[in-house]
Each structure stands twice: as structure tokens, then as C-alpha cells.
Amino acid sequence: LFYRNVIYIFFSGRRFGRSEVSPDDARLATRSLPQWQKDFLLNEPDLDGVYAEYLEMMVQFGYATLFVSLFPLSPLICFLNNIVEIRLDAINFTASYRRSIPLRVSGIEIWHYCLDIILKLAIMSNAATLAFTSESIPRFMYLYFSKYKRKSYVQFTLIPFNTTLWTGYHDYFPNTSQVCYYKDTYQSTIEWREITIVRLSVFIVFVLFFFIAQLVCKFFLSKPPEHITDRINKAKFLARQAMFANDGEEESKSRNKATGSLEEIELRETMGNTQPPKTNFVHTVLNTTSLETSVV
């Protein structure tokens, strides 16, 4: 993946490695075909749309947030990878696949809840890592509490153990020391209890602080800015006005057609009523001839 991404960045317009299009389709695409045929020969987009892209972003976001305290360079690596992915996806969607059918959606929908869950898990995991695995809290307590400075920091972090409790140990190792030190919680000492209480307190405070910060950011960032809201309302108003104008034009055309047909019917009826009454042609001719005979 890294090799192909580098090739896509530094050799724009060229394709190395395995082609996205089959050889037969590529051979046909080189001919002088209409644009719609060239587009039809491209790869058919997946039915899931951009599901894989969103899933990849979720994985990267989880990797960058869940383990950022253990590997601080993970956000930088994800950032560089996304720069490469933007270029790669642009080439795939514009040159390797057919144009997908757009669908109107209200937002990222379910992915928003996935991000929220990952963010909460990241807060708790980083808080647990910093509170229970790091040496910052014991070192802080050793430096700022004078009662722990009676011994060195190494002795403060180690637990003593009396080797005489091991039966037969000094029989095999008679010259060894009677006390050994190890870094563990063999005995529930006062220092260990105090450090554990401080670790739990730091974990709870850390989690509550960032949960409250998340709620505050969500409250202030959930509402879009005023100028964006005005533009959205303006676009909706223009779209509504254009829709009503089209409906009015169609209604006026239908009314004009109906009015014209009614006028034609009325005109025909009036013209039919004003026509002279029909007379018998033979009867008229006979009357005319009889009148001429009487005159003669």
C-alpha cells in the first residue's frame, strides 16, 4: 500500500503494478470510443458505497486516540497516510470507477455515534495508562512529600523481602544477604496504599475533566455559525421559490388550455345558433317556378 501510494503521488497520471481495469477493457478503452462507452468500461462501484472508506477512518481514529499515550507519533503517521489516501481515492473515484449515484443524507449518521464511543474509550484508556503504568505519580510523590526522602528513589520504588522466610535458602547460599528488593506489591505497605489512592484519584479526575470538556465542545460546536445558517436558509428559500414558480407556470398553462377549450366550445355553440335555418331546396325551386309562371 505504501509503495503504490508513493507511486500515485510522484507519478501522476501513470499506473504501475496491477491495473484497476481488465486488459480487454483497457484495450477497448484505447480506441476512439464515445465518452459514455469509456465510462461504462470502468470498474463498477461497490454496493456499499463509501462504507470501506468510513471504516478505514474509524480504525485510524481509534489507533490515533486509543494509543496516543503509548505511541505519540501515531497522529502524525495517520495524518501523512490521509494525505496519501486523498490522492489515491481521488484517482480511483475519477479515473478507475464509474460515477456513483449520489444519495441525499442528513450527515454521517451512525458513524457519529461510533466516533463518540471511540472518543470515550480513548479517554478512559489514556487515563488508565497514565495513572497505573507510568512512573510520574510515584516520582511526583517522592519529590514533593518530605517523608519519602529518607531513602533514595530506587529504594522508594522497590519492596524489601526477608530471605530468611525461605526454608533451606541459606543452606545453599550462606553468604547471600538476608534482604532482597524487587519491584512488585508483595506487601501492602503504607506507601503502596497512598500511591494506589493517588493513581485512582488521577484516573477519576482525568476522565471527568475530559468528559466535561467533550460535552462543552459538543455544546458549542453542535450549532453551525450564523453566516452558514443564513446561507442554508437562503438556499432553501430560493429552492422553494423556484419550485413554487414551476408549479405556478404548469398550473397557468393547464388553466390556459382549459380556458381555450371552453372558449372554443362556446364559440362553436354560438356559431351554431346564428346559422340560418335549413330549407328544402326542392320546395324552394318549386315555389320560385310557380311564382314566375303566375307573373307571365
Which tens digit of pLDDT belongs to each residue from 37-87? 888 888 887 767 788 888 889 999 998 999 898 889 999 999 999 999 888
Q: Which of 102-106, 144-148, 227-231, 264-268 has the lowest mean pLDDT?
A: 264-268
Calculate the alpha carbon distances from 192 to 86, 141, 146 in Å.
51, 11, 16
Calculate the alpha carbon distances from 200 to 122, 178, 195, 203, 209 in Å.
17, 34, 9, 5, 14
How many residues would you count in the chain?
Answer: 296
Q: Are 163 and 178 in contact, with CB atoms under 8 Å apart? A: yes
Query: Is pLDDT above 50 for 146?
Result: yes
Instruction: Quote the CA–CA distance of 153 and 35 in Å, as a whole number.
Output: 75
What would the mean pLDDT of 141-154 be, rounded to a whole number? Answer: 74
pTM value is 0.61
Residues whose CB is less than 8 angstroms from the CB of residue 63 and which lie 6 or more positions away in sequence, other chains included: 74, 78
Q: What is the pLDDT of residue 278?
A: 46
Q: What band does 288 get if pLDDT is binned at 50, 70 and 90?
A: very low
Query: Is pLDDT above 90 for 125?
Result: yes
Q: What is the pLDDT of residue 286?
A: 41
- Does the CA dihedral 194-199-205-208 come out positive or negative? negative
Average pLDDT, the chain: 74
Residues whose CB is less than 8 angstroms from the CB of residue 108 and which lie 6 or more positions away in sequence, other chains included: 54
Residues whose CB is less than 8 angstroms from the CB of residue 16 and which lie 6 or more positions away in sequence, other chains included: 4, 7
Q: Are 99 and 20 in contact, with CB atoms under 8 Å apart? A: no
3-state SS, one letter per residue, for 54-96: HHHHHHHHHHHHHCCCCCCCHHHHHHHHHHHHHHHHHHHHHHH
| Number of other CB atoms surrounding residue 291 within 10 Å | 9
Q: What is the pLDDT of residue 12?
A: 44
What would the mean pLDDT of 233-253 be, rounded to a whole number? Answer: 76
Instruction: Quote the CA–CA distance of 296 and 291 in Å, as a whole number.
Output: 9
SS3 159: strand
Residue range 184-229, pLDDT digits in tens:
665 667 778 888 899 999 999 999 999 999 899 888 877 777 888 8
Q: What is the pLDDT of residue 161?
A: 77
What would the mean pLDDT of 134-151 be, rounded to a whole number? Answer: 78
| Number of other CB atoms surrounding residue 213 within 10 Å | 11
Q: Give percent of the chain with pLDDT exceeding 70.
A: 69
How many CA within 13 A on the CB side of residue 53?
A: 14
